[in-house]
Structure 1
């Protein structure tokens, strides 16, 4: 290419233009075409604004990353189960019905050493608190079921995920010991066995969680009928309403003697009252819509929390937390599992039947415990399950049972209202090969159920099938030896159980989160 000659005396010349640029102008000497965008001067204010916005954006990203890393680093995880089989898939975190087992550990390891020595409780520890939180699929209601620590239950065989050691099944053991050998997953499997549900997640907090959470929200209001002092827990409160936080909040939820008759049932009601007040506090203060407060609470909780692998991410925890922010406090129901003094030990508790089974059956049906007549929320999972159950299945030759029918202890408890019904069903069982069958009259109930003791699940299933009783009414029950057919008014006659109306024990709900309840002080600990 030949460059144009420079004819200027000062030796300078016009800038060399490419042929491409020249083609966009009629005269190559006029410079670049206007529509190619000549350089412009950027105002100083725009440069400053751009720099400020960039700095702010980087700061927000860095702040978010810092909190994400910090909260994620706080989380400790364990396995959801302890080797027992599951039949349900994981729910949708945002819209699926979800059950979360909430546990408080009494371990004295690490930060909890000030509350006793390792001899008191170390390793996995015992569950100081056990509550099952059930969130409905439509995010409009929550049920919280408390289990007393003195409740005697059957614990299934469990495998410790850390050591892979297998622990055999146990019968008539306090429920708070379910996680002491094989970890939290064994507690989950135990509650699954007890209720007939399949828990989706768990959260276990230590002593410090209550202290730091109560501090983070600025204290929780609690009420008591009389001034009380419990020397064991150190709780001292005046009559009426007090704001508790830190050590005092921990003493309030831990005390075993300050409320009611000094038993674990009074303690459960106090814990439910504390949580009800905490829910109101968080909602009234707008905490769930305030990012700064939410971060403070999340930091306080996650530092003292152990959760299952399915919950082990900050976004998942936030998704679950977000489900709770718009629920009416009147639809947060606190319930205690129905219990009575255990036959084997009057200082322990056993499930009270048929009330406990009625409660668990209502939960499996997703019944609103505050309004049992309300229609359960419809979910895609439920529709799919219904379609699957309606689909025809190929017939198979039934396998021979792995037990001798003639040796199985079967009892028929006749609560149907038909005096002859017990004898009819006992005769049907004997005809079917269960020759060790007895029958007796029992308290009238609405719904039929088949209860079974440890190692009799397969026998109970065969008994139910023989009598035409629905499989979902076959339930484990502590205190039952062998199998017991408890006949209700839904099965007064015929060879197939009819659909029974939902039946719940009266006053099953202790309180809702919308109720302000004053705890009754234990008369033996009332002080001037």
Structure 2
């Protein structure tokens, strides 16, 4: 009789059984297949197509970045090419007033009345440009306040000897109209004359001619101004009734040039219109979002750089844009417009003389970046 064989308490599974086969050892076992846990299985290698797609995307991104960088560089290069510069610092040397307090800035803004080239429609070329408009712009430390001092072009001043492009030096004059300095020695002589007049260091100079001014106004979309009286001036191509007007470049140029159809026909009446226009322009630009609109910003920058002649330090699009961005927090209400205090010139009723000490007090405030003196009754 065969001996009984005890059941193995730990039977080994038969490698040949599948599914739910019953073991011949007497115990039923169900063999289950383990499904691989997500994330723990073997990753598939990227196929040739996937790798090629990734390489193409990377190449496209790199190409796009290169195109954008190159495009930005080309735009800056074009704007830089638009600018004309003059090396005022090298021309005038070191014998100049000391610079103002750190953070403040003085800019001489000149509007030249050259009748050459595209400006010929405004009359015959008189043989040399003169500064039809002269404004000393003081930007206070922090750029939250500014002062604009208009200098009447008929003001009689002591004009210094100025270096000339041919290497010679002009003769000094004890009594000359202020705007003759520009005709004699360009913007460098205009700067030197203001520095001698007010003992104020000029940090930068911006010079714009008739045609450039028109293009700049058109680029910003025109400027809205309000006139207290009708202005009809054939010489300035201007025909306006009293009231509110949206001026294009041609009309704006006529407004800032006219003098015979307003007030007593002197340069002082024209200065009031120029200041009115500048205030309106500042008001318009402050609420236009220009600095956050790349397309409009470039259009204005293109017109501005084509219109301007600057000193070397300000002679790049990057420098001008930096100056503009620095004025982002300057509110139009914080811009004070003043006119250089002047009175009658005894030798010629068509000229004016600087009034001292009123002018000295104004120049001191600009030079030291301090509060302006009270406005005189005649200036109001």
TM-score using structure 2 length: 0.82
Is 2:121 aligned against 1:114? Answer: yes
Higher normalized helix content (fraction of residues): 2
Query: What does 1:399-418 align with in structure 2 at a 5 Å threshold?
Result: none
Give the SS at the match of 1:280. Answer: helix
| Contact 2:159–2:173 under 8 Å retained in 1 | yes
Spell out, residue by residue over 1:30-77, the C-alpha distance to the aligned partner (whole angstroms, 9 max, x if none). xxxxxxxx8765367645643443343223212211211111111111
How far apart in 1 are the matches of 2:182 and 2:72? 36
Q: Post-superposition shift, 1:116?
A: 2.1
Counterpart residue number, 1:69: 77
How far apart in 2 are the matches of 1:75 and 1:234? 28
Query: What does 1:61-460 align with in structure 2 at a 5 Å threshold?
Result: 61-80=69-88, 82-83=91-92, 85-86=94-95, 96-118=103-125, 120-122=126-128, 125-160=129-164, 162-369=165-372
How far apart in 2 are the matches of 1:334 and 1:45? 63
Q: Which structure has the larger Rg?
A: 2
Counterpart residue number, 1:383: none
Q: Over the residues paired in the alignment, what is the CA RMSD in angstroms? A: 2.4
Counterpart residue number, 1:392: none
Give the SS at the match of 2:107. Answer: strand
How far apart in 2 are the matches of 1:280 and 1:296? 19
How far apart in 1 are the matches of 2:318 and 2:377? 38
How far apart in 2 are the matches of 1:121 and 1:290? 42
How far apart in 1 are the matches of 2:103 and 2:336? 19
| Contact 1:105–1:127 under 8 Å retained in 2 | yes
| Contact 1:253–1:274 under 8 Å retained in 2 | yes
How far apart in 1 are the matches of 2:78 and 2:351? 43
| Contact 2:156–2:178 under 8 Å retained in 1 | yes
How far apart in 2 are the matches of 1:508 and 1:98? 28
How far apart in 2 are the matches of 1:69 and 1:91? 32
Distance 1:508 1:58, change over 3 A: farther
Q: Post-superposition shift, 1:188?
A: 0.3
| Contact 1:358–1:505 under 8 Å retained in 2 | no
Counterpart residue number, 2:376: 506
Q: Post-superposition shift, 1:88?
A: 6.2
Which residue, out of 56, 68, 74, partners 1:60? 68
| Contact 1:145–1:337 under 8 Å retained in 2 | yes
| Contact 2:163–2:170 under 8 Å retained in 1 | yes
Distance 1:296 1:44, change over 3 A: same
Spell out, residue by residue over 1:200-221, the C-alpha distance to the aligned partner (whole angstroms, 9 max, x if none). 1101000012211111111101
Distance 1:260 1:336, change over 3 A: same
Spell out, residue by residue over 1:438-497, the C-alpha distance to the aligned partner (whole angstroms, 9 max, x if none). xxxxxxxxxxxxxxxxxxxxxxxxxxxxxxxxxxxxxxxxxxxxxxxxxxxxxxxxxxxx
Distance 1:46 1:84, change over 3 A: closer
Give the SS at the match of 1:158. Answer: coil
Give the SS at the match of 1:241. Answer: strand
| Contact 2:111–2:134 under 8 Å retained in 1 | yes
Give the SS at the match of 1:65. Answer: helix
Which residue, out of 50, 55, 65, partners 2:58? 50
Counterpart residue number, 2:34: none
